[in-house]
Amino acid sequence: MFKKSVLTLAFCMCLAGCAPVNNGIQLIGSYYNKVFGAPDTVQVKKGDTLYSIAKRYDMSIMELIELNGLDSPNQLYVGQVLKTNANKYYTVKRGDTLASIARKYGTSWQSLAQKNNIKPPYALNVGQKIAVSGTAPKTYATNSKQVAGKTQTNMTSKAKTSTASSSAAYVSTKRNAKFVWPVSGKVISSFGKVGKGLKNDGINISAPLGTTVKAGDKGTVAYAGNGLKGFGNLILIKHPDGYITAYAHNDKILVKKGQSVARGEKIATVGKTGGVSAPQLHFEVRAGKKAVNPRNYLP
């Protein structure tokens, strides 16, 4: 069940001949983090507060304060870099069990089961997101009396992990390959500002009901459902290079979460589900979390 605050839509816009509809997909707060994970740090921007940052990254204000050693809200300033709880959700890997995950986070498997509403027989799926405690996984300091070679191996392993995490957090907005057009039709709403304080994070393409919707490129289905109010049947695909594409207002969804899809593969059919009154596809391209103009990534 998505939190009411996460389901609040970020903006409305008018399409020609239609009532106000919701056409942007703001993958923010706990919804985005549950699907793709949270960044390690965040830079404070003008207008940010402890409350807004905590809400954005699905943390409590106390978690944010304690993680960053803050004494009062007055310590917040523009440009400040704050740690966020990147370990709030754990992605299940092959061979994982509730017990093994619980040991990593210093908690009990019963607590994890209750926190995630996992019922007997407590089966887990590879790629599943598990909400864990606010603390990072347990790590053990290297004993100085250990054999030098083993110590060096441990240090090298940690350095590689750190480097991998840092590189994964950044996705270049320059992409060599183009995405294929997800559907053939007329663009009826472009990317960017569409009015005072209104912004479309993608493009809307008009097409007849039932028209084939194609995957922009190969990747893994990160989400397939209708749990985000206003966007109807929605599909999110995460691509190997860190890009994410979104496909909203579908009639029929033909793929499942965790499924691998090929470039140009049929994943859905055009519909008018969610907050639209005419058949169309809302299509987004994101470099990591950053929404970019899909027209720059299409042939």
Task: Give the tens place of pLDDT for each residue, 115-125.
Answer: 777 888 888 88
pLDDT in the model for residue 249: 95
Higher-pLDDT residue of 232, 168: 232
pLDDT tens digit sequence for 38-82? 667 888 888 888 888 877 776 767 777 877 888 766 778 899 998
9-83 against 186-297: fold identical: no
- The CATH number fitting domain 89-133, selected from 3.40.190.150, 3.50.50.60, 3.40.1390.10, 3.10.350.10: 3.10.350.10
User: 3-class DSSP state for residue 51?
Assistant: helix
Domain chopping of the chain, boundaries: 9-83, 89-133, 186-297
Above 50 in pLDDT, residue 184?
Answer: yes
Read off the pLDDT band of 128 (50, 70, 90).
Answer: confident
Task: Provide the pLDDT confidence category of residue 105 given band limits of 50, 70 and 90.
Answer: confident
Asked if pLDDT for residue 162 goes beyond 50, the answer is no
Least confident of 32-46, 134-148, 167-181, 197-211: 134-148
The residue that leads in pLDDT, 175 or 35, is: 175
- d(CA 178, CA 216) in angstroms, rounded, equals 8
User: What are the tens digits of pLDDT across the range 245-286?
Assistant: 999 999 999 999 999 999 999 999 999 998 899 999 999 999
- Min mean pLDDT across 8-17, 52-61, 126-135 is at 8-17
B/e letters for 158-179, b = 16+ CB within 10 Å, e = fewer, are eeeeeeeeeeeeebeeebeeeb
CATH of 186-297, one of 3.30.300.30, 2.70.70.10, 3.40.190.10, 3.40.50.150: 2.70.70.10
At residue 271, the pLDDT reads: 97
Q: Which residue has the tokens 């942007």?
A: 24
Alpha helical stretches, state H, 169-243: none
Q: Give Cβ neighbours of residue 256 (< 8 Å, ≥ 6 apart).
A: 221, 224
Q: Does the pLDDT at position 83 exceed 50? A: yes
Model confidence at 192, in pLDDT bands (50, 70, 90)? Answer: confident
The DSSP letter of residue 262 is -
User: What pLDDT band is residue 3 in, cutting at 50, 70 and 90?
Assistant: very low
- Asked whether the predicted pLDDT for residue 139 surpasses 50, the reply is no
* Exposed / middle / buried, residue 77 (Cβ in 10 Å: 0-12, 13-18, 19+): exposed
What pLDDT sits at residue 126?
Answer: 85
Contact present, 247 and 285 (Cβ < 8 Å): no
pLDDT in tens, 228-252: 777 899 999 999 988 999 999 999 9
Cβ neighbours of 284 (radius 10 Å)? 24
Superfamily holding 9-83: LysM domain (3.10.350.10)
Interatomic CA distance for residues 285 and 298, integer angstroms: 10
Give yes or no for residue 149 having a pLDDT over 70. Answer: no
Q: List all residues 6 or more positions away from 150 whose beta carbon is below 8 Å from its beta carbon.
A: none
